């Protein structure tokens, strides 16, 4: 094996460009000496990319922020640092690893950090931010919006990472903060008006973990104890005045509300791994999470009802709920021969939601207090699956599996008002039998084919949309030789769920073709096409002008064509060019315009649209440790039946990538 630093660098660059990511920045090219620098017994590699993004949007900027959201300004587009001790016996540490992306200004930022001493400790940090603006226009003119930022951080510390006895500690934080706009229906639940409700969203969850790992011969036991604390106290406010519907007389004079929600989730997790000789392997896992959360709502509103009368409403609610979740898995694998694997897997899952609540509502001086029991819900599942894998020859393999699942759902709906007490108990069990057959062929070393068929039967699905009588077929072929990769895949799913008056059928077919090739060290290609077809036919019923319309059929048809192509080439190891194009188009059922008619809405649901994005990037190496990069990416979103959400966006960046 002969690998020069130049070969290593080119290999790394080519590997990075295959299946290039859609966002044009940060730059995937590397800079600096590939082997790094020697500093006091350590090897150091580093790179920093500092850049400036610009963007311009024509059309619906809210939709752009929902789909893309890159803005203007300076940011640390990316950075990388590795420090490794040369002999594996560093005094304070043996490894430092730091990778970042988008720090400072990008909507999607992350940083991963690892600090490790081979003998004593390993510390891992994973930190992320996602700024997400959702206009929420599920059906124009919808009114729910979110403009929030979600931040995650995970800290994990392992003591004695190379020892048979290890200690684990961890802390995670997940928070969501920002503005939200919801709606509140007031004074009449069915014929009231909706008023915009502004929320300052503030959700936080903290998790502490403590555990250990014990290894004895071929047995390993991992124990983890954790505590989660969730808190949500979003202050809400409501604008006075008329509601959203112009023809409605309901008006609001004053409104105040407070809504607090918090709780704890302590959990246990135990995992046992074991082997015996070369013929048996075991895995057993048990988890228990006992969740409890409390809530309090205090709300008052005064105004005018739709009939013109003065209206006031006060509402108080408080209580707590529990949600214990117990899971257990046991897997035993037998390897009677090198070519045979037999596995039996048993899983148990039990979740129960229960608790108590009180609720008081006073409306126009009337009303009363009610003790509202939770709608208790318990779901218990039991699964047993057996798989067999048989490989009689290198070019031929078979697999087969059978699974039986049993899910029991129990619910209690209850209400207590004064002396009146009513409880409704329900219980049902659904059993699913599913089988799987698969074949793998490898007629030539670089050529493989995989086929699999799954059949399933359920006797009592929970929803009309659930799988009842279904089959799924998949096929995949791949040719891989050197840097050339060609692949084709097909997957179909078909499900019917019929009852006397209604029926639901769903059919999906996915096709995909992909190719990538690094023709020379200085040029590589990557292209692909996929089609995802989905049609569902479901019975629906609804009221229109007081009359029940139904049963009717709702047909949803979606034909999504997607394609991407990227070409990258280098000039004399001085400049790298990358051109790419990505397009996703839903052609619906092929119609050119939205159906209109006397009905409440068209019975055929389609949303034809196009989302495409060409991009180009240039990276010029001025010095062994310095690169200058420029990029441009265009986004276009266009719905065929409506221009309300459409936009065209130009985004670009320039950056300097250097290693120091």
Partner 1 sequence: MRTIFLGGLLLLPLAAAQSPPASTSGYVGSNVCKTCHAPVWANFYKNPHYRALASGAEAPEKTGCESCHGPAKAHVEARGGKTTIPRAFSLMPPSQALNTCLACHEQSIGRAQIRRSSHTQADVACNSCHSIHKPAQAKSLLAARQTNLCYGCHNAVRSQFAMPHKHRVNEGAMQCTDCHNPHGAAAPTWRAGLRPRMVETTAGGEEPCLRCHTDKRGPFAFEHAPLRVEGCETCHAPHGSMNPRLLKRPSVFTLCLECHNGATGFGLSGDGIPTQTSSHNMNDPRYRNCVTCHVRIHGSNSDPRFLR
List the one residue from 584, 618, 620, 656 that touches partner 1 (CB under 8 A): 584
Pair of tokens at residue 38: 């020697």
Binding mask 425-464 for partner 1 (x = CB under 8 A): -x-x-x-x-x-x-x-x-x-----x-x---x-x-x-xxxxx
State residue 90 phi and psi, 5-degree precision: -65, 150
Provide the minimum distance between the beta carbon of 530 and partner 1 in the complex, in angstroms, as a whole number: 4
* Burial letters 585-624, b for 16+ CB under 10 A, else e: bbbbeeeeeeeeeeeeeeeeebebbbbbbbbbbbbebeee
Nearer to partner 1, 61 or 354 (CB): 354
| Residue 593 within binding range of partner 1, rule CB under 8 A | no
Contacts of partner 1 in 37-56 (CB under 8 A): 43
User: DSSP assignment, residue 86?
Assistant: S
* Burial letters 267-286, b for 16+ CB under 10 A, else e: bebbbebbbeeeeebebbbe
Provide the minimum distance between the beta carbon of 648 and partner 1 in the complex, in angstroms, as a whole number: 13
List the one residue from 163, 283, 300, 496 that touches partner 1 (CB under 8 A): 283
Binding part of the chain for partner 1, among 78-86, 305-313, 570-578, 626-634 by CB under 8 A, reads: 78-86
C-alpha pair distances (Å), 194 with each of 146, 184, 235, 243, 248: 18, 5, 19, 5, 10
The answer to whether 632 and 25 are in contact (CB under 8 A) is no
List the one residue from 6, 73, 89, 446 that touches partner 1 (CB under 8 A): 89
Binding part of the chain for partner 1, among 52-60, 553-561, 573-581, 621-629 by CB under 8 A, reads: 553-561
Residue the block writes with tokens 């630093």? 5
List the one residue from 325, 447, 484, 575 that touches partner 1 (CB under 8 A): 325
Contacts of partner 1 in 501-530 (CB under 8 A): 501-502, 504, 510, 512-514, 528, 530
Binding part of the chain for partner 1, among 223-231, 572-580, 624-632, 650-658 by CB under 8 A, reads: 223-231
| Residue 97 within binding range of partner 1, rule CB under 8 A | yes
Contacts of partner 1 in 611-650 (CB under 8 A): 611, 637
Element (H, E) at 373: none
| Residue 409 within binding range of partner 1, rule CB under 8 A | yes
Residue the block writes with tokens 């720090």? 103
Binding part of the chain for partner 1, among 52-60, 336-344, 589-597, 619-627 by CB under 8 A, reads: 336-344
List the one residue from 157, 160, 359, 447 that touches partner 1 (CB under 8 A): 359
Alpha carbons 403 and 104: distance in angstroms, whole number: 49
Binding part of the chain for partner 1, among 50-58, 212-220, 569-577, 622-630 by CB under 8 A, reads: 212-220
User: DSSP assignment, residue 465?
Assistant: T
According to DSSP, the β-strands at 251-276 and 280-304 are antiparallel
List, in order, residues 6 or more apart from 68 with CB less than 8 Å away.
Answer: 635, 649, 651
Quick one: CA dihedral 33, 39, 43, 44, positive or negative? Answer: negative
The answer to whether 113 and 125 are in contact (CB under 8 A) is yes
State residue 60 phi and psi, 5-degree precision: -80, 100
Binding part of the chain for partner 1, among 50-58, 291-299, 572-580, 618-626 by CB under 8 A, reads: 291-299
Nearer to partner 1, 579 or 623 (CB): 579
What is the widest separation between alpha-carbon atoms in the chain?
A: 89
List the one residue from 416, 466, 483, 505 that touches partner 1 (CB under 8 A): 466
Binding mask 111-130 for partner 1 (x = CB under 8 A): -x-x---xx--------xxx
List, in order, residues 6 or more apart from 284 with CB less than 8 Å away.
Answer: 271, 272, 328, 329, 330, 331
Provide the minimum distance between the beta carbon of 655 and partner 1 in the complex, in angstroms, as a whole number: 16
Contacts of partner 1 in 131-190 (CB under 8 A): 134-139, 142-144, 150, 152, 162, 174, 176, 182-185, 189-190
Binding part of the chain for partner 1, among 47-55, 226-234, 304-312, 651-659 by CB under 8 A, reads: 226-234
């Amino acid at each position: 094996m002969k690998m020069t630093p130049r070969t290593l660098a080119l290999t790394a660059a080519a590997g990075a460009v295959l299946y290039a990511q859609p966002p044009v920045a940060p730059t995937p090219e590397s800079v600096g000496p590939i082997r790094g620098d020697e500093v006091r017994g350590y090897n150091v590699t580093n790179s920093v990319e500092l850049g400036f993004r610009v963007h311009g949007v024509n059309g619906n900027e809210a939709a752009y922020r929902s789909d893309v959201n890159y803005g203007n300004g300076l940011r640390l587009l990316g950075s990388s640092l590795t420090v490794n001790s040369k002999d594996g016996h560093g005094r304070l540490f043996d490894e430092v690893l730091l990778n970042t992306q988008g720090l400072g200004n990008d909507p999607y930022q992350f940083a991963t950090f690892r600090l490790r001493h081979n003998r004593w400790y390993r510390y891992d940090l994973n930190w992320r931010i996602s700024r997400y603006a959702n206009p929420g226009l599920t059906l124009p003119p919808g009114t729910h919006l979110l403009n929030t930022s979600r931040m995650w951080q995970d800290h994990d510390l392992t003591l004695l990472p190379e020892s048979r006895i290890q200690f684990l500690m961890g802390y995670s934080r997940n928070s969501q903060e920002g503005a939200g706009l919801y709606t509140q229906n007031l004074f009449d639940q069915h014929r009231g008006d909706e008023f915009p409700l502004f929320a300052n969203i503030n959700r936080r969850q903290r998790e502490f973990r403590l555990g250990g790992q014990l290894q004895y011969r071929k047995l390993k036991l991992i124990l983890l104890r954790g505590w989660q604390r969730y808190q949500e106290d979003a202050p809400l406010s409501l604008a006075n005045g008329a509601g959203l519907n112009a023809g409605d007389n309901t008006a609001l004079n004053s409104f105040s509300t407070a809504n607090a929600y918090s709780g704890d989730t302590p959990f246990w997790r135990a995992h046992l791994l074991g082997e015996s000789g070369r013929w048996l392997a075991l895995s057993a896992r048990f988890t228990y999470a006992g969740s409890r959360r409390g809530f309090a709502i205090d709300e008052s509103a005064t105004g005018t009802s739709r009939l013109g009368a003065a209206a006031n409403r006060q509402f108080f609610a408080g209580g707590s709920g529990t949600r214990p979740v117990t899971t257990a898995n046991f897997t035993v694998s037998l390897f009677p021969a090198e070519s045979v694997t037999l596995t039996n897997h048993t899983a148990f899952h039990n979740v129960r939601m229960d608790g108590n609540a009180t609720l008081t509502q006073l409306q126009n001086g009337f009303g009363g207090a009610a003790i509202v029991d939770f709608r208790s819900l318990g779901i218990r599942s039991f699964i047993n699956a057996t798989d067999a894998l048989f490989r009689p020859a290198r070019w031929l393999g078979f697999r087969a599996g059978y699974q039986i699942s049993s899910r029991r759902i129990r619910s209690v709906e209850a209400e207590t008002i004064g002396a009146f007490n009513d409880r409704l108990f329900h219980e049902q069990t659904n059993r699913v039998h599913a089988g799987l057959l698969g074949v793998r062929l490898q007629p030539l070393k670089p050529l493989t084919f995989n086929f699999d068929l799954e059949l399933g039967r359920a006797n009592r699905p929970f929803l009309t949309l659930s799988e009842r009588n279904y089959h799924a077929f998949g096929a995949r072929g791949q040719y891989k030789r050197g840097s050339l990769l060609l692949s084709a895949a097909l997957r179909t799913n078909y499900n019917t769920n019929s009852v006397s008056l209604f029926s639901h059928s769903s059919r999906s077919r996915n096709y995909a073709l992909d190719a990538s090739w690094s023709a020379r060290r200085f040029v590589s290609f990557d292209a692909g096409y996929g089609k995802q077809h989905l049609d569902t036919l479901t019975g629906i019923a609804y009221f229109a002008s007081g009359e029940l319309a139904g049963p009717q059929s709702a047909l949803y048809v979606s034909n999504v064509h997607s394609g991407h192509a990227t070409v990258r080439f280098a000039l004399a190891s001085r400049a790298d060019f990358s051109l790419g194009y990505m397009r996703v188009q839903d052609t619906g059922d092929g119609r050119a315009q939205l159906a209109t008619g006397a009905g409440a809405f068209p019975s055929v649901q389609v949303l034809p649209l196009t989302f495409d994005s060409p991009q180009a990037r240039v990276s010029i190496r001025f010095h062994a440790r310095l690169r200058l990069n420029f990029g441009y990416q265009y986004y276009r979103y266009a719905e065929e039946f409506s221009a309300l959400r459409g936009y065209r966006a130009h985004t670009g960046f320039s950056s300097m990538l250097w290693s120091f």
